[in-house]
Amino acid sequence: MSTLLELSTVQVVLLALSLAIGRFVYSYRDYRALGTRPRPDLVPFPNKQTYLLGDLLAVWKDRKFYLGRFWNNQQRHAHLLRDEKGRADPSKAFTVTLPGIRMILINQAERDAFDNYEKGPLFRRSMQQVLGDGIFVVDGHQWRYVLVSMMPSGGGGLTTPRSLQRKATSKIFTAGNFKGIITSSIQTQLGKLLRVIGGHADRHEAFDLADLFFRFTLDSFTEMAFGMSTGALDTDEPVPFAVAFDYAQGVMDASPFSPITERFNGTKTKMDEAVRILDEFAYEIISQREIEGRDGKSGADTDLLSLYMALRDEGGEPLSRSALRDALLNLIIAGRDTTAQGLSWTMFRLLREPQYFAALREEATQLGTNVEDVDYDTWRNDMPTATATFYEGLRLHPSVPKNAWQAKGDDVLPNGGPRVEKGDLISWNDWIRARDPEIWGPDATAFKPSRFLGPDGRLGRPDEWTYHVFNGGRRLCLGMNLALFEGSAVLAALSSEFDWEFEAGYLDGTEMCEMDNTPLYRPSLTLPMAAPLRVRATRRTTA
């Protein structure tokens, strides 16, 4: 005591500071990232953690292989999640920390626990510049409002979000719209796609099928949304709208790093420019439509924009220009890449196992209609093989391979855990779940469309939590049927019109995912192939 009294003020301050630093340093001895709380009940993901940075550097280093490596690590270290008798312990889960963020990796999405989870401020912050207040980004009341506003009836009489979403799905993507706007856009653009591929076939030249699929879905979605395609299929040149979209998506996916990196690498300027191009495209069409509307020229129900423009809120007001822009860009971003990528992966699988083309061709010949003219009813009733094939491509290569939602409050996930604290992100990975034999059986990693067909050849799909490619529950994908219709129509048409092979040297020259022997994906919110899908098509002489 007397020694302490003899210390000068400076010495006391220094001592206090050293103790505080010591305490701080000691408190992060578990190598979690700065700004996260200790969680000894969770198992650090078998990564190399860095002091105060947690998993940041490891995640950055592995970003090219994030799906495969996660899968491999999870498999190799699954014993860490079991109890001493070797039984799975549901209260345990792997966890990853990045500065300010704790992620808990779960094997099952938000079933039964939806109300406590939302996209959250983190997701919103990184997406809002592009997606505005669109349905993809917002939560709670705003999400319900967006859903209600998407419903021509205004959602009257509906009380629970579950029923709102069902109702919204059935209103925006009505059978009437499927038979009108949606079918005609898909048929027009499918006809163009077949002509472009036919041109390559006639010139005996190889081409990038993945790029063509991006152009095709961009044109079909912009035509559906705005009544005007970007003309991407009419040229081999990059389309500014598509380039801007791709760029924005890449930046949004890297969002945990962007606050740091954008200061140094010019990302912010490029992102601002990308958003400017997207805005310009949307607002020009909206302005044009407003003028036409005033002149009495705009016909209702000719595209999704006209449907949105006809909506009125409770006060009788139409959607604002920015709400219109957000609604349509959200639909395009939700539907364009997801569908195109699903088609690329499915075609890759078919090209590698061409025996599956036979059943697709047989089904197409039974349709009794030109494959370009497949309509919604034909798809629903007569195309189980094409649909099962698309299901299977999407199962193994889900277009939204990983996802994360933020906890609004403390929680314990269903069936005994793990425990979640307010602000934690729960993160699941459908790419990994597709390869899990406990979910899909011993042949989980095999491409096998027949797993979705019953003995009578009828289509059957497990519940939305097992087949989770389109999410589930209240935030089930709104465009699921649209995507399945479009994808199945394309697979049927491409199979029946052409014979397919990889360009010579493609398989040997393409970097493959080390765990899966399929082409490497590019880090993104969705699942683009990292390299072009180089193929050759030959016109089929027999149907």
List interacting residues with ligand HEM (CB under 6 A).
Answer: 135-136, 331, 334-335, 338-339, 342, 394, 399-400, 403, 469-471, 475, 477-479, 482-483
In the complex with ligand HEM, the residue whose CB is nearer, 47 or 346, is 346
Distance of CA 362 to the CA centre of its chain: 32
Q: How far is the CB of 129 from ligand HEM (least distance, A)?
A: 17
Q: Which residues of 111-126 are buried (b: 16+ CB within 10 A; e: fewer)?
A: eebbebbbbbebbbeb
Q: How far is the CB of 73 from ligand HEM (least distance, A)?
A: 23
Q: Which residues pair with 524 in a beta bridge?
A: none
In the complex with ligand HEM, the residue whose CB is nearer, 193 or 334, is 334
Q: How far is the CB of 426 from ligand HEM (least distance, A)?
A: 12
In the complex with ligand HEM, the residue whose CB is nearer, 36 or 486, is 486
- 370: closest CA among 285, 223, 496? 496
In the complex with ligand HEM, the residue whose CB is nearer, 121 or 509, is 121
Q: How far is the CB of 87 from ligand HEM (least distance, A)?
A: 31
Q: Which residue is nearest to ligand HEM (CB)?
A: 479
Distance of CA 64 to the CA centre of its chain: 17
In the complex with ligand HEM, the residue whose CB is nearer, 399 or 510, is 399
In the complex with ligand HEM, the residue whose CB is nearer, 481 or 496, is 481
Q: DSSP E strands: which ranges in 327-458?
A: 402-407, 411-412, 419-420, 425-429
Q: How far is the CB of 496 from ligand HEM (least distance, A)?
A: 21
Query: Is residue 513 a known part of a binding site?
Result: no
Query: By the 8 A CB rule, do 401 and 203 touch?
Result: no
Whether omega for the bond prior to residue 152 falls within 30 degrees of 0, making it cis, is no
Q: DSSP E strands: which ranges in 168-273?
A: 207-208
Q: How far is the CB of 135 from ligand HEM (least distance, A)?
A: 5
In the complex with ligand HEM, the residue whose CB is nearer, 192 or 402, is 402
Q: How far is the CB of 22 from ligand HEM (least distance, A)?
A: 43
33 CB-contact burial (10 Å; exposed 0-12 / middle 13-18 / buried 19+): buried
Q: How far is the CB of 539 from ligand HEM (least distance, A)?
A: 28
Provide DSSP, 107-175: SS-STT-GGGEESHHHHHHHHHHHHTT-TTT--HHHHHHHHHHTSTTTTTT--SHHHHHHHHHHHHT-H
Measured CA to CA, the distance from residue 358 to residue 512 in angstroms comes to 27
Measured CA to CA, the distance from residue 33 to residue 99 in angstroms comes to 5
Q: How far is the CB of 420 from ligand HEM (least distance, A)?
A: 17
Measured CA to CA, the distance from residue 104 to residue 81 in angstroms comes to 13
First to last CA, the chain: 98
Q: Which residues pair with 426 in a beta bridge?
A: 104, 405
Residue 251 structure tokens: 């930046």
In the complex with ligand HEM, the residue whose CB is nearer, 251 or 400, is 400
Q: Which residues of 214-229 are buried (b: 16+ CB within 10 A; e: fewer)?
A: bbbbbbbbbbbbbbeb
In the complex with ligand HEM, the residue whose CB is nearer, 182 or 239, is 182
Distance of CA 517 to the CA centre of its chain: 22
Annotated binding site for heme: 477
Annotated binding site: 477
